[in-house]
Amino acid sequence: MSVLIVGSTALDSIKTPKAENPRLLGGSASHAAVAASFFAPVRLVGIVGDDFPRKYVGLYDRHGIDLAGLQTKPGKTFHWAGEYEVNMNNRRTLATELGVFETFSPDLPKAYQNTPYVLLANIGPDLQHHVLDQMKKPKFVVADTMDLWINIALPSLLRLLKRIDGFVLNDSEAKAITGEDNVFVALKKLHKLGPSHVIVKLGSHGSVLSSPSGLFLCPAYPLQKVVDPTGAGDSFVGGLMGWLAASKGSIDKNLRAAMIHGSVVASFCCEGFGLTRTDRIQRSDIDRRVAELKASTGW
Ligand code: AMP
């Protein structure tokens, strides 16, 4: 089955203590779409300006991503600039320039409206609502968010939580919404806001799922060198949705394996700037790391 992904399609300028890379292909939807594409057909909904490099369209094409929902408009592509500290878990946003995203209000292609798996990747919650409004009985809807939207659009985000099945956010965002430092208490409070499945991401420490089938502690792949973690969260949830869409049986039966596969795709994302490393891997690279994780976490 297919996954529909809406989110930012961006040019990212990323600075780490070791290097600086301007105008890489980025955005929550780009990372999530490439990650999901290793497992299932992907439909991308987004917008880029007329400055968007052709080679990045080529990258989406290489991964077989359906671009009927990607608009090109006169103007500038969404641009995000960020800088990492020596501890790569700490990042500062230097610039967010919405460009053509400012007026983006997509009408989904008819063929997209019946997509069973929907990922509302990180973008303003009003836009997430707008896309969800056009979907016809999706099977599983997951949303991601970020601190910016919690700060400036909380009422809309809280309304969204009542409309979705799964919510994925990181530990500091969970604390910002619930006021809770303890992840397990925060998970309980997040369920009360709507979603039956909540995943809190813990950076290099993995993630925690709380669902009707209980808790699952998902490890991160043990990387020895992180080049650029930008997009790791998006790769995680993209890989997760791709795996679910490709799997038979109930969501609850498949969700743990989906998280492990998402976690492994995210590990590749961290090994290169932007999408440069993820772009070059094969499904067999993912399978190898999944087997390693299995061997090092089971008993
Ligand atoms: P992550 O590292 O998973 O938090 O995702 C980073 C990606 O989010 C980058 O590729 C950015 O282009 C994108 N991004 C940053 N700020 C925003 C924003 N305000 N809205 C949507 N996407 C954003």
Q: How confident is the model at residue 225 (pLDDT cuts 50, 70, 90)?
A: very high
Percentage above 90 pLDDT, the chain: 98
Instruction: Please identify, by atom number, the ligand 1 atom nearest to the C-alpha of residue 12.
Output: 12
Q: Is 148 in the pocket of ligand 1 (CB under 6 A)?
A: yes
Atom 5 of ligand 1 has which residue's CA nearest to it? 231
Q: How confident is the model at residue 93 (pLDDT cuts 50, 70, 90)?
A: very high
Q: Which CATH number does the domain 3-297 belong to among 3.40.920.10, 3.90.1200.10, 3.40.1190.20, 3.40.50.850?
A: 3.40.1190.20
Measured CA to CA, the distance from residue 268 to residue 288 in angstroms comes to: 12
Measured CA to CA, the distance from residue 203 to residue 186 in angstroms comes to: 17
- pLDDT(68) > 90: yes
Mean pLDDT of 227-235: 97
Q: How confident is the model at residue 33 (pLDDT cuts 50, 70, 90)?
A: very high
Residue spans of the domains in the chain: they are 3-297
In the chain, beta strands by DSSP E: 3-6, 10-15, 20-26, 42-49, 66-73, 78-84, 91-97, 117-120, 140-144, 166-170, 197-201, 207-211, 214-218
Q: pTM score, two decimals?
A: 0.97
Instruction: Please identify, by atom number, the ligand 1 atom nearest to the C-alpha of residue 80.
Output: 12
Could you tell me which of 288, 281, 233 has the C-alpha nearest to residue 259? Answer: 233
- Tell me what the pLDDT averaged over the chain comes to: 97
- pLDDT(201) > 90: yes
Q: What value does the CA radius of gyration of the chain take, rounded to a whole number of Å?
A: 18
Percentage above 70 pLDDT, the chain: 100
Query: Is 250 strand, coil or helix?
Result: coil
- pLDDT(87) > 90: no
Which of 146, 148, 149, 169 should be mutated for ligand 1, with most atoms under 8 A from CB?
Answer: 146
